[in-house]
Amino acid sequence: MNPLSMDASPPQWRILVVDDVAANRTLLKRYLLGKGYWVDEADSGQAALDLNARTAYDLILMDIMMEGMNGKEATRQIRQSRNDRHLHLPIIYVTALNSQQAFVEALAAGGDDFISKPISFPVLEAKINAHLRIRSLYQQLEQTNADLDRFNHYLRHERRLVQHLLKDAYRRNYKPGCCVRDHIAPVSGFNGDLLLSDLGPGGLFYLMLGDFTGHGLVAAVGTFPVKQSFFQLSEAGASLSDMAREINNHLREFLPPDIFCAAILLQLDLHRGRLSLWSGAMPDAYLFSPAGDLLRQLPSRHMPLGVLEEDEFDATMEVLEIPLDAHLYLHTDGLTEMTNAAGEEFGPQRLQRLLSQPQAGRFEQVIEAFSGYRQGLEQEDDIILVELDLAPVCDILKAPDRPQERPPQAPLMPFRLELELGAEDIRRLDPSGLCSAMLAQQPGLRPHQDMIHSLLAALYSNALEHSLLGLDAVDRNDPQAMLGYYQQRQERLQGLEQARIQLSLALSRDAQGWLLEIGLQDNGRGFAAEASPHQPVQEACGTGGLALLQRFCERLEYADHGRQARLFYRLA
User: Which CATH number do you get for residue 30?
Assistant: 3.40.50.2300
Q: What are phi and psi of 427, to 5 degrees?
A: -65, -35
Residue 503 lies in a domain: yes
Q: Which domain holds residue 32?
A: 6-143
Distance separating alpha carbons of residues 332 and 449, to the nearest angstrom: 28
Let me know whether 132 and 263 are in one domain.
no
Phi/psi class of residue 69: alpha, beta or left (left: φ > 0; alpha: ψ in -120 to 50)? beta
Residue 152 lies in a domain: no
Let me know whether 373 and 451 are in one domain.
no
Q: What pLDDT band is residue 401 in, cutting at 50, 70 and 90?
A: low
pLDDT of res. 41: 96
Per DSSP (E only), the strands in 253-376 are 261-269, 274-280, 285-288, 294-298, 318-321, 327-331
Q: What pLDDT band is residue 298 in, cutting at 50, 70 and 90?
A: very high
Q: Contact 181/367 with Cβ under 8 angstroms? A: no
Residue 155 lies in a domain: no
Max mean pLDDT among 100-114, 143-157, 343-357, 523-537 falls in 343-357
Mean pLDDT computed over 481-510: 91
Let me know whether 268 and 377 are in one domain.
yes
Let me know whether 234 and 270 are in one domain.
yes
Q: Is the pLDDT of residue 309 over 50?
A: yes
- The residue from 365, 397, 429 where one domain ends is 397
Query: Is residue 514 within a helix (H) or strand (E), and if so which, with residue range?
Result: strand 513-522
Distance separating alpha carbons of residues 564 and 556, to the nearest angstrom: 11
Q: Contact 199/266 with Cβ under 8 angstroms? A: no
| CA-closest candidate to residue 466, choices 526, 532, 425, 549 | 526
* Alpha carbon 428 to its chain's center: 35
Helix, strand, coil shares, percent, the chain, to 5: 40, 25, 35
Range with the poorest average pLDDT among 176-185, 340-349, 419-428, 507-516: 176-185
Partners of 502 in beta bridges = 420, 521
Max mean pLDDT among 91-100, 214-223, 245-254 falls in 245-254
Domain CATH code at residue 308: 3.60.40.10
Distance separating alpha carbons of residues 158 and 324, to the nearest angstrom: 45
* Alpha carbon 96 to its chain's center: 69
Q: Is the pLDDT of residue 304 over 90?
A: yes
| CA-closest candidate to residue 448, choices 460, 435, 463 | 435
Output DSSP code: residue 255.
Answer: S
Let me know whether 386 and 426 are in one domain.
no
Distance separating alpha carbons of residues 533 and 358, to the nearest angstrom: 29
Q: Of all residues in the chain, what percent carry a pLDDT higher than 70? A: 88
Q: What pLDDT band is residue 538 in, cutting at 50, 70 and 90?
A: very low
Instruction: Quickly list H helices, 207-312.
Output: 217-221, 223-235, 240-254
Which amino acid is present at 232?
Q
Q: Contact 55/15 with Cβ under 8 angstroms? A: no
Distance separating alpha carbons of residues 80 and 352, to the nearest angstrom: 65
Counting the structural domains of the chain, the total is: 3
Let me know whether 117 and 28 are in one domain.
yes
Q: What are phi and psi of 9, to 5 degrees?
A: -145, 65
Let me know whether 238 and 319 are in one domain.
yes
| CA-closest candidate to residue 225, choices 241, 238, 237, 243 | 243
Per DSSP (E only), the strands in 335-395 are 383-389
Let me know whether 24 and 51 are in one domain.
yes
| 212-243 per-position pLDDT tens digit | 987 677 777 788 889 889 999 998 888 898 89
Q: What are phi and psi of 398, to 5 degrees?
A: -90, -5
Let me know whether 216 and 126 are in one domain.
no
Mean pLDDT computed over 107-123: 91
Distance separating alpha carbons of residues 439 and 519, to the nearest angstrom: 15
Domain CATH code at residue 439: 3.30.565.10
First to last CA, the chain: 79
Mean pLDDT computed over every residue of the chain: 85
Q: What pLDDT band is residue 169 in, cutting at 50, 70 and 90?
A: low
- The residue from 350, 371, 397 where one domain ends is 397
Please give the order of strands across the beta sheet that includes 91-95: 38-42, 14-18, 59-62, 91-95, 113-116
pLDDT of res. 537: 32
Distance separating alpha carbons of residues 505 and 174, to the nearest angstrom: 38
Let me know whether 339 and 287 are in one domain.
yes
Residue 153 lies in a domain: no
Q: Contact 177/387 with Cβ under 8 angstroms? A: no
Query: Is residue 48 within a helix (H) or strand (E), and if so which, with residue range?
Result: helix 45-54
Let me know whether 520 and 425 are in one domain.
yes
**DSSP-assigned letters across all residues of 96-125:** ----HHHHHHHHHTT--EEEESSP-HHHHH
Residue 163 lies in a domain: no
Let me know whether 206 and 332 are in one domain.
yes
Count of CB atoms within 10 A of residue 533's CB?
11
Count of CB atoms within 10 A of residue 55's CB?
12
Which amino acid is present at 408?
P
| CA-closest candidate to residue 491, choices 524, 469, 514 | 469
3-state DSSP assignment of residue 164: helix
Which amino acid is present at 296?
R
| CA-closest candidate to residue 348, choices 361, 362, 332, 359 | 332
pLDDT of res. 536: 33
Q: Which residues contact 325 (CB under 8 A, 6 or more apart)?
A: 289, 290, 391
| CA-closest candidate to residue 31, choices 125, 127, 123, 112 | 125
Partners of 339 in beta bridges = 345
Residue 15 lies in a domain: yes
pTM exceeds cut of 0.85: no
3-state DSSP assignment of residue 21: coil
Residue 409 lies in a domain: no
Q: Is the pLDDT of residue 19 over 90?
A: yes
Q: What are phi and psi of 426, to 5 degrees?
A: -65, -35
Residue 404 lies in a domain: no
Q: Which residues contact 182 (CB under 8 A, 6 or more apart)?
A: 175, 195, 384, 385, 386, 387
Q: Is the pLDDT of residue 284 over 70?
A: yes
pLDDT of res. 348: 95
